[in-house]
Every structure is written in structure tokens, then in C-alpha cells.
Structure 1
Amino acid sequence: MLVTRFNPYKELKELESRLFNSYPAESDESSIIAFKPTVSTREGEFAYHVEVDLPGVKKEDINIDIKDNQIVISGERSFKEERQEKDYYKVESSYGKFQRSFALPENVDIENIEASSENGVLEVLLPKLKVEKAEVKKVCVK
């Protein structure tokens, strides 16, 4: 007989992740807790800006892919803190994978997308294509 841990909220969490298009809080394959970074987006005159809060995530652990007119930001973070004093030893660690994806507007210059990470904040710059304004031609009514 196989013994499994009962989680009364598992089905509710799965329903919530499907309804709100988020990521499951707990993976069935392994008991790794998902990391859900917050994202801010804004539109400027010449570009779209996406800022992702990624505290504790190294630049090397961040992946940005463009696929099927979507930008996919993914990666993983791991944290380990050890503290040893004469009367105790403490180790804390956490691990989490994340993935966020967004549909790209039609006027994004995909070839010139830039990304930078500083102080735990990833900024992705999505430049807009330069659209030349069509010259207005006046038509005389006869």
C-alpha cells in the first residue's frame, strides 16, 4: 500500500491556477514551490517597458525567448543561507522556477529588444517600429 500525504487544498489550487492563468503553487513531480515574480508594464513614446521583480535571481539564471509572437521570461532562483555559531547551526534554503509570458504588440521591433538586470529588477525594453506617417492627400470634389 502506497502512503501519500493528503492536501485538502490541492484541487482548489489547481482550479485557481487554471482560472487565473497562473502557475501551480506546488509541482506534482517534485515538491518545489513555484516562484511568482511581480511584473509591471508600461508604454512609452518609443518603446514598451516590462519590469520583473526577481530578487535573488542571477542574470545567468534568466531566460528571455521570443516565440509565436510572445515574449517568455523564465528562470529559476535558489537561495541558501548558513549560519553557524557556537551553540547552534542554522541552514535555510529555497528554490523556485518561474515563467511569465506576454503577447507582443504588432509594432514591436523584435530584432532590437534589450534586457538588463540591476538590483533584482529585470527590465526588458521592447522598441516600437518606426511608422512613417502617411502624407495626407487632398482630393477635390467635382
Structure 2
Amino acid sequence: MIAMMHVQPMEQKTLYQPAIAWQITSEGLMLHVEAPGIQAKDLDIEATEKTLTVQWTRHLRSDSVALYSEVKYGQFRRSVALPFAIERDRIESQLKHGILTLNLPKKQKPQPVKITLGKSTLSQPEPTPLETPVSLDEDPWAA
């Protein structure tokens, strides 16, 4: 029976794309990536404002010889273009039961700031010995 099986190399140079599912939430996106048998230390996750890439390598066990397996071994990589910009420093991730879950908060638009004349919200640097402080009531161009 074993002689009738066609055995292919278990670890191939193919780049596999893991299955994903994503949902739009009230705060942004929730992305689920199938990663069975993968540990958090083996994951490489990179994010820009508009893309997310998840990758890892699943290696064949070196202490055994498989006769047959439908499990894919090798490199896994998935990049997705996001529908909107995200807050990269607020991404939350969890790996549980072979599913990587990423919460990607939507980047908020900057709010306008009201500026009042005559008042500064910026801290002023201390004058150096080479500078002469000038008061706001003094004309700096008068000789």
C-alpha cells in the first residue's frame, strides 16, 4: 500500500496565503488570520497606515519522517490593503486556538484648533546670553 502512494516533498518553496476574514467595527477593522500550530514568537506582523502584512514559516519536524500529510509547510504571507488609514500605535493582537485576531483602530481626522491672538500655547525657549529679550510692547525695528 505504501508503495502505491506518490510522495511529494513536504516542505516546498511555495508561498502560501493564509485564509483571512475581516469585519468593519465601530472603531475600525477586525482581522482574523488562520494560523494553526503557529506560536506568537514565530509571527511577523507589519503595518503601515494603509496596509497590513502577516507572515511566518511552518517547518517540518526534524525528529520524524512523514509518509503523507495534507498540512502545508513553508512560507505563509498575507498582505492586505486597508480601506482606510489606521492608528498603528493602537493595534491590538491576540493569538488563540490557531486564529490571529487583530483590532485595527481607524485613524481619526485631526480636530481644528482655535487660535487666540496675543496668547501662545507654545513654550518659549530661554534666551541665550547672545540674545536680548524684547518685550511685545517695544518696536524691534526702532533704533
Match of 2:73 in 1: 95
Which aligned pairs between 1:61-72 and structure 2 lie closer than 5 A?
Answer: 61-67=42-48, 69-72=50-53
Q: How many residue pairs end up in the alignment?
A: 99
Q: Which has the larger radius of gyration?
A: 2
More strand by share: 1
CA distance in 1, matches of 2:26, 2:110: 14
Q: Give the structure, 1 or 2, with the largest relative contact order (CA under 8 Å, sep 6 or more).
A: 2
TM-score norm. by structure 1 comes to 0.56
Unaligned segments of structure 1, at least 5 residues: 1-29, 83-89, 135-142
Deviation sequence 1:5-25 (CA, Å, 0-9, x none):
xxxxxxxxxxxxxxxxxxxxx
RMSD of equivalent CA atoms? 3.2
Displacement after TM superposition at 1:63 (Å)? 0.5
Question: Unaligned regions of 5+ residues in structure 2, if any?
Answer: 1-10, 113-143
Match of 1:113 in 2: 91
1:45 deviates by 0.7
More helix by proportion, 1 or 2?
1
CA distance in 2, matches of 1:53, 1:31: 19
Please say if 1:54 is aligned against 2:35: yes
Check the 8 A contact 1:57/1:78 in 2, yes or no: no
TM-score for both structures, normalised by structure 2 = 0.56
CA gap of 1:33–1:107, structure 2 versus 1, over 3 A, is closer
